[in-house]
Amino acid sequence: MTNAQLKDDLLAGRPQFWDRLAQSTRDASQFNELLMLSSLRKKAHLRGLARPGIDGDPLRVALLGGYSLYPLSELLDHLCDAGRFPCRWFLGDFDNYMAEIMDDGGALYEFAPRVVVLMPSEHRCKYSGKLTDPRETQRAEAAQVVESLLGLARRLHEKTGAEVIMTNYFLPARHDLGPYRSRTLGSIWSFRKWVNLELGLGAPPYLHLCDLEFLAYRHGGILARDDRAWFESKQPCSSTLLPHVARELAAIISNLRRPMKKVLVLDLDNTLWGGVVADDGLEGIEIGDTSPRGEAFKAFQKSIRLLKQRGVLLAVCSKNDHDKAAAPFEKHPEMVLRMEDFVSFKSNWEPKSDNLHQMALDLNLGLDSFVFIDDNPAEIDIVRQFAPEVSTILLGPDPSGYVAQLEDCRLFEPRTITVEDADRTLQYQSEEKRRALSSGVTDMEAYLASLAMVATISPFSAVDAPRLSQLINKSNQFNLTTRRRTEADIHALIAAPAWACFSIRLKDQFGDHGLISILIGEKMDDRLRIDTWLMSCRVLKRQVEEVALNELARLAIALGCARLEGIYLPTPKNEMVRDFYTGMGFTLVRESTEAREFELDLKSFQPRKTHIKIATP
């Protein structure tokens, strides 16, 4: 039994305890299992069992609500901490959230949370009048409930700058009014449904919803509730649902600062179609509406294509001869996916882990943005061993379950879908064309000139905030400091006068790259300190670096600064910009294992010449 093993590790003080704990925590679905794991974890902390590789301050999270927040807080603390995302908690009193939020000098604001989780009381969400009142009166009251919730979120955000996570409302699962429940907005059923819908649609970017209505629906409405638990200890839901609520909250909290996955890499035989194309032939594979298995594979391809439309890049990694593997995509009429859907197609006899490493190089992306899907446990295992940064999905034995597995993998959840996401495949494909052109043009200057590049420089704006935060949180390689920021942080920067922040968009004759570089500078006396300099690697060495430097220098001089200060903070992924500042004419002034600091004197600064035309935003 795993608990016995964990207890044994703990009593013997073995550091593997932490990895085993993380694994058991991922696997645990029962309330009790998680509580026991949490209690073991706390004992390990008490005993001072060392856990290497956790750095940075814990995130300050406040948890408020109209329920007893214990043991939810315990589960949440456990999921975050065991998932290597330690948090410090402020726990509101039972149903005291209004007072806590309204008290300007109170303990909540003193705690200075970066994230506030609010579970408003469902007892305040019901229509106060009669079932037969006019629809407009009922609707107005629902709108008022939504407005007051949004008001609480706004106040929290404005006072603390924190991201706010709010739960919506459970729906009742008892017959009560019978079919009449959906004929009036005055029933709790309709009223809460309406409030939930309006709350989600009206939520500003800093407000993230934890959808209790959905979680309970998924779990089963009757199983989700437990009246005894409410009467005895004011619990929001049953103990079987509580771990799912905690997991959802933990996922939202950690995803605020974690980059998203970008590439889905697919096996072919028995993944995208039934059978083995090299053995069964083009006619023999199962795909399409002529058999139930064929239909299942076709549905799976459709769900993959939906991911592509949401901005996920698709690639193939298969053990096959290239021509045989390509044939279904080119010739089979029932295939949903086609060659042009893929940014990379590796069909050869090399180990799949090697192919994935090569793909990451070709696409200029970190391996940790890859997800690999295969029906063969041996292939999954080799990837887990030799490319451990890649997330893997091992498909089950029945293709009718593939779509559900993909839809439940939780690796491709957008916070906000941006227009650029949908265009990304196009961008990577034109990058291939550009490379082809680059190899034909030996003179770099002539090549750059031939691209007809146009850059737009924009100061940070509220409308760009989702895209800015997205790029800030996913850029790893060309990122000098890897400082992550939420949308709320961006809004704070827009309002701060001592900060100079701008982004760069780039177009060329092959397409629109969208927003590809972000610069954040802070004026400190007579210098402008470059807090953040990051760029999408797709546009490396295209002179966007120079454009950015020119703009930084211009802003710094306008702010009365005499020098630019740059800093490089090394991470496992940003080695490529270690010497970036010296390449841009900066002088190295200090160096340690944690940081390299640089300066550029602006007195003698001459703007760099580039082949990029600057457009006004």
Partner 1 sequence: MTQSEVIEKLQGIFDDIFLEPVKLTPALSAKEVPEWDSLLHISLIVAVEKEFGIRFRVGEVEATHNVGEFADLIARRMGEP
**Given the rule CB under 8 A, which residues bind partner 1?**
3, 7, 10-11, 31-32, 35-36, 38-40, 43, 70-71, 74, 228, 231-232, 239
CB of 239 to partner 1, least distance (A): 6
Query: In the beta sheet, which residues pair with residue 512?
Result: 507
CA-to-CA distance for 239 and 229, rounded, in angstroms? 8
67/189 with CB nearer partner 1: 67
612-615 vs 596-601, strand pairing mode: unpaired
CA-to-CA distance for 371 and 183, rounded, in angstroms? 46
CB of 71 to partner 1, least distance (A): 6
226/545 with CB nearer partner 1: 226
CB of 30 to partner 1, least distance (A): 8
Beta carbons of 239 and 454 less than 8 angstroms apart: no
Find where tokens 């309330």 sit: 31
CB of 34 to partner 1, least distance (A): 9
Beta carbons of 372 and 391 less than 8 angstroms apart: yes
**Which residues are within 8 A (CB) of 343 and not within 5 positions of it... i.e. 6 or more apart?**
263, 313, 314, 315, 363, 425, 428, 429
CA-to-CA distance for 125 and 13, rounded, in angstroms? 49
CB of 185 to partner 1, least distance (A): 33
Backbone angles phi, psi at 89, to 5 degrees: -115, 145
Query: In the beta sheet, which residues pair with residue 454?
Result: 507, 613
231/349 with CB nearer partner 1: 231
31/581 with CB nearer partner 1: 31
38/184 with CB nearer partner 1: 38
* Sign (positive or negative) of CA dihedral 25, 28, 34, 36: negative
8/407 with CB nearer partner 1: 8
Q: Which of 325, 378, 330 is nearest to 348 (CA)?
A: 325
CA-to-CA distance for 362 and 348, rounded, in angstroms? 16
7/159 with CB nearer partner 1: 7
**Which residues are within 8 A (CB) of 476 and not within 5 positions of it... i.e. 6 or more apart?**
259, 366, 368, 482, 571, 573, 574
37/612 with CB nearer partner 1: 37
Strands lying side by side in the sheet with 163-167: 87-91, 59-65, 115-119, 163-167, 207-210
36/98 with CB nearer partner 1: 36
CB of 4 to partner 1, least distance (A): 9
CB of 123 to partner 1, least distance (A): 18
CB of 10 to partner 1, least distance (A): 8
CB of 35 to partner 1, least distance (A): 5
CB of 83 to partner 1, least distance (A): 19
CA-to-CA distance for 471 and 537, rounded, in angstroms? 12
Reduced to 3 states (helix: H, G, I; strand: E, B; else coil), residue 213 is helix
Angle at 344 between CA 343 and CA 348, to 5 degrees: 165
Helix or strand (DSSP H, E) at 42: helix 31-46
CB of 36 to partner 1, least distance (A): 6
CA-to-CA distance for 95 and 238, rounded, in angstroms? 18
* SS3 sequence of 559-602: CCCCEEEEEECCCCCCHHHCCHHHHCCCEEEEECCCCEEEEEEC
42/608 with CB nearer partner 1: 42
Strands lying side by side in the sheet with 499-508: 587-591, 596-601, 563-568, 527-535, 511-524, 499-508, 453-459, 612-615
CB of 42 to partner 1, least distance (A): 8
23/233 with CB nearer partner 1: 233
131/229 with CB nearer partner 1: 229
CB of 135 to partner 1, least distance (A): 38
Reduced to 3 states (helix: H, G, I; strand: E, B; else coil), residue 356 is helix
Helix or strand (DSSP H, E) at 167: strand 163-167
The structure tokens listed for 41 are 């974890």
CB of 13 to partner 1, least distance (A): 14
31/402 with CB nearer partner 1: 31
CA-to-CA distance for 380 and 383, rounded, in angstroms? 5
The structure tokens listed for 448 are 């750059």
47/130 with CB nearer partner 1: 47
73/344 with CB nearer partner 1: 73
Helices (H) and strands (E) in the chain, counts: 25, 18
CB of 7 to partner 1, least distance (A): 6
